[in-house]
Structure 1
Amino acid sequence: MAQPDEPHPPVVPSCPLPSKTCDVVLTERPRSCCGMAMAGLRTAKYHLPEWHRRNAGVCYEAYTAGEQAERGRAEAKHLVKHAAASAQRAQGYSKATLGQRLQDIHFWRVELQKEIMELDAETNLLAAQKLRLERALDATEVPYSVVIDNLECRERRQPPDLVIDEVEKQLMKEADLIRDIRDLLKRTIIQAATQIRSNRIQKENCELDWSDKVETYNIDDKCVGYCTDSTDVQYHPSSVKFEENASTPKSWAQFSHDNISRAEQEKLASVQLRSLINNIIHDASEDLRMQRAAVNEAFDSHCRELDDAKLRLENHLQQILKDIGDEEANIVNLKKAIRDKEAFLKVAHTRLYDRSSRPNVELCRDEPQFRLVNEVEELTVFLEALKRKLMESEQNLKNLEETRMKLEKEIAVKANSIFIDRQKCMGYRVRYPVDLEVASYKQ
């Protein structure tokens, strides 16, 4: 800034300027008694040149003091103007920097607020997914109880139907699948709860940062409004210092950047976990649906086999019953034939007995005698054959009865197995949820 021209000193009349103020000089006069009497008074007087020199000195000192005072006034005026301009500039620059600082604070405040809202929304979405997991886990209780009930019911099958068939294998596979799904859902619920907790912790960190920035923005905005006319300004000498724990602009911006970066990481992890939860529920539902279909198909196939086996047994039973009836009729016929032949034998024996009483020469081996003997022999052979056949028929009837009992028992076993598989198991499986994914949305 251009310095003002120095004021020219005023012109003073020329006069001899003594180099210094002279002291009182004692005169060298002959001493007299009169002079001796006046010696004390004459010592305080000046010579005329001395008087002029002294006056000139006083004038010079007055001129010098006035000149110095004028120079001081000019310098003071210049200093006042310079100080006023400098203070104005400094205040304006400080206000501008505060305004820029307000913009920076506003930027980070908006970014933090945006991140807080997005993280809060993401946390709510993840909480909804966690609720879906819990509902899906609850929905697996019914299928698991159905499978366990099916296995327990099939344990009540009677031998020889108490076998490890395809239905039991599929039921065991289904039970293992449901247990694996339940374990997976439980682990995922814990993972979701942990992620929700991390989201909320990071949201709280961002909220604290945002709250500090809101407070700081209000303080700096208040500082921007201060001016020399403000009534609430005062001296605070102790505040003119840098705090030891104060941050730098770089560390200040990095702190908010790190908070937002960590919030973004947690949000990304939450989004990925939500996608994983969707896939888990969908895959679990699909696996359960396919396994349920496999079990139902195994039940249908096994029930058809049981129906066929039962039908074959019933057909055999009908034939056995018919055979039993025929065999019983055959036995009756054989017994009647034996009785008939015994009657003929009795007649022949009686004839021979009576003819053995013929007298003398009349006891002849005539043709009737030979015929009666032959008749007895033939009847005896037939009777023996009929009795053997009767014994065989009775044994056959006994075997048929045992077969009938076995068939009836087998039919009862098959009926019991059909009842267990079709009525108890398949009837109870109607409660099986159709879709685990749909169940996860139900209230």
Structure 2
Amino acid sequence: MEILGSTLTSTYGRHRPTPTNFLPAISTMSASYKNRFPHYTMTLPWRPSTYYKVASASPSLAPLSKSAPGLNPAQIQSFSSNRTALFSRYTPDDWYKSNQSNFRESESSRRSAERLRVDTSRLIQERDQKTRKIQNETSKDLGERVNDISFWKSEIIHEIDQMIGETNALSEMKRRLERALMETEGPLQVAQECLYHREKRMSIDLVHDDVEKQLLQEVDCIKSCQEKMRRHLQKITAQLAANRGAQHELERDISDKQTALRIDDKCQNLRNSSDGIGYYRGVDRIDATVSIPETWAKFSDDNILRSQSERTASAKLREDAETILASTSNGMWSQFNTVNVNFTNRISETADAKNKLQNHLAKTLQEIFQTEMTIEALKKAIKDKSAPMKVAQTRLDERTRRPNVELCRDTVQIRLMQEVQEIDDTIQALQLRLRDAEDTLQMLVHTKSNLEHDLAIKANSLFIDQEKCMGMRKSFPSTPRLVGYA
């Protein structure tokens, strides 16, 4: 019979085989496991180095077992093995208890693992649902934001269209006022020319008659109308600037909203599978916002209210301009007709006096006529010099805009300066000659005899009132032209 335990001596100790690792390394998770059996850490020759912990029994447990009978050293038999200490053996009760402990520990570990798996699955589902819910709510908020931006965008576009229409209408009214103001220059020049020509009346005919009174009143009326138009043009110019300012704010607002709409629409359409998504570290800690929904909406509302206010003021200005154009046109037409009636009466009186002296002044009238033709030729010659003078001065003015070293006093510059001086000398000479001609005319008239002198006075007065003044007053701007529709 083989002695019990002798066959196990060669399977322990120094020649123990290296166990095979069945599970992957978990070194990264080793810190999460607690050492529930610190006494397992002792080095035992029969402890395998596998992932699972094996049951182990301390040699001190054998004597504590109730089923182990007490043995004295005298009863211990001698074995041929090097393991001679009998107290290192385990009893069946120890073996059974070790198995039961392993079973309980296994069941406890499985229950813990199962609870962990269930809780983990539930946590994953809850977090996934919460994440999807938050993402859906964010997408919904983005959709509402896109709708809000689209609403204000449509409101601003509508207001911009209204403002553009009002600005165009006001600009057209401004052009009408400018054209009407230009049309008043003709009647004003005619009235002033009439006063100027009537100043050439001589002797007793140089009287402050009704014609002159009405001409002065006509000049005052036209100047008053012009002043009203200029003041209103200044108001319209300022209002146009205000309209453009309000429109600029609206256009800048609509540009910002178009950009925001494009960005928010892109954000709303982003999905988890979309291209271009990525991590942006710390972006959630950056708050670059400058407004809140209330101030954001108020900003656009204020811009729209400002635009509406400017449109109201613009419409009022247009109505006032219509009133001014109508009143000035009626006033000028009324005064024009009054002056013409007085001119007709005065001409009739002068013609009746002249007819009584016509036979005595035939030759004198001929000379006076030639002298007056000379005066007209001189005036035309002086007027013809204005265009060359303008050309020369314009050339000089344009050449002052040459940059840097190009601002050279070259031959052209010297010649242009000489040209301006020569034209100016020519004009002065012609004006001097014009004054000489007028003096000659006056000398001829004053050298006449008393009858001839009286007839010359009447003839001159009649020529001024009938030929020059009434000749210029044959035409007057029509009412449509006076209200700017020309």
Please give the TM-score of this superposition, normalised by the length of structure 2: 0.61
Aligned: 1:60 with 2:126 = no
In the other structure, the counterpart of 2:129 is: 85
* 1:235 pairs with 2:279: yes
TM-superposed CA distance for 1:79, in Å, is: 2.2
Work out which of the residue numbers 226, 251, 255 in structure 2 matches 1:211. 255
Distance in 1 (CA, whole Å) between partners of 2:193 and 2:481 is 23
Residues 141 and 436 of structure 1, relative CA distance in 2, 3 Å threshold? farther
Rounded Cα–Cα distance in structure 2 between residues aligned with 1:198 and 1:42 = 113
Aligned position for 1:71: 115
Structure 2 partner of 1:251:
295
Higher fraction of helix: 1
Q: Give 1:197 shift.
A: 1.9
CA distance in 1, matches of 2:86, 2:340: 152
Q: Residue 112 of structure 1: CA displacement? A: 1.0
Distance 1:244 1:234, change over 3 A: closer
CA distance in 2, matches of 1:64, 1:25: 24
The residue type paired with residue 206 of structure 1 is L
1:408 deviates by 5.8
- Within 5 Å, which residues of 2 pair with 1:29-48? 41=85, 44-45=88-89
Distance 1:286 1:437, change over 3 A: farther
3-state DSSP of counterpart to 2:201: coil
User: CA-to-partner distance for each residue in 1:82-115, whole Å, 9 max, x for gaps?
Assistant: 2333233222222222211111111111111111
Matched, 1:135 2:179: yes
Alignment match, 2:213: 169
SS at match of 1:430: coil
2:307 is the alignment partner of 1:263: yes
Query: Judging changes above 3 Å, is the alpha-carbon distance between structure 1 residues 27 and 425 closer, same or farther for their aligned structure 2 residues?
Result: same
Change (3 A) 1:231 1:302: same
Task: State how far apart, in whole Å, the 1-side matches of 2:130 and 2:85 are.
Answer: 63
User: Which piece of structure 1 moves more, 208-217 or 54-63?
Assistant: 54-63
Q: Indicate the residue corresponding to 2:222 in structure 1.
A: 178
1:423: how far off?
Answer: 1.6
The 3 A distance-change label for structure 1 pair 49 and 33 is: closer
Letter in 2 for 1:211: S
Q: Distance in 2 between matches of 1:414 and 1:47?
A: 167
- Separation in 1 of the partners of 2:141 and 2:322? 51
Structure 1 residue 432: deviation in Å?
Answer: 3.0
Aligned partner of 1:145: which letter? Q
Could you say what secondary structure the match of 1:170 adopts?
Answer: helix
Which of residues 170, 194, 206 is equivalent to 1:126?
170
How many Å separate the matches in 2 of 1:194 and 1:241?
47
| Separation (CA, whole Å) in 2 of partners of 1:145 and 1:438 | 15
Cα deviation 1:111-147 (Å, max 9, x = unaligned):
1111112211221221111111221222122111111
**Deviation of 1:231 (Å):** 3.0
Q: 1:318-350 deviations in whole A, cap 9, x for unaligned?
A: xxxxxxxxxxxxxxxxxxxxxxxxxxxxxxxxx
Q: What residue is the counterpart of 2:156 in the other structure?
A: 112
Pairs aligned (count) = 333
Q: Which of 323, 326, 337 lines up with 1:282 in the alignment?
A: 326
Contact 2:201 2:461 in 1 (8 A): yes
Q: What is the distance in 2 between the residues matched to 1:233 and 1:65? A: 42
Question: Deviations for 1:182-209, whole angstroms, at most 9, x for unmatched residues?
Answer: 2222232222222222222221211111
Instruction: Measure the CA separation in 2 of the matches of 1:273 and 1:110.
Output: 28
Q: Aligned ranges for residues 292-307 of structure 1 at < 5 Å?
A: 292-307=336-351
1:218 CA drift (Å): 1.5
Alpha-carbon contact 1:98-1:224 (below 8 Å) kept: yes
| Further displaced range: 430-439 or 183-192 | 430-439
Q: Which blocks of at least 5 consecutive residues in structure 1 are unaligned? A: 1-20, 318-404
Map 1:383-402; keep pairs closer than 5 Å: none
- Change in 2 beyond 3 A, CA 1:179/1:438: closer
Q: Would the alpha carbon gap of residues 434 and 301 (structure 1) be closer, same or farther in structure 2, given more than 3 Å must change?
A: farther
Two-structure CA RMSD over aligned residues (Å): 3.1
1:15-69 per-position Cα deviation (integer Å, ceiling 9, x unaligned): xxxxxx986348497875897x999945655565555444333322221111111
Q: How does 1:389-428 map to 2 (within 5 A)?
A: 409-428=453-472
For 2:235, the aligned partner's letter is Q
| Rg (Cα) greater in structure | 1
Q: Which runs of at least 4 in structure 1 moved beyond 6 Å after TM superposition?
A: 28-31, 37-40
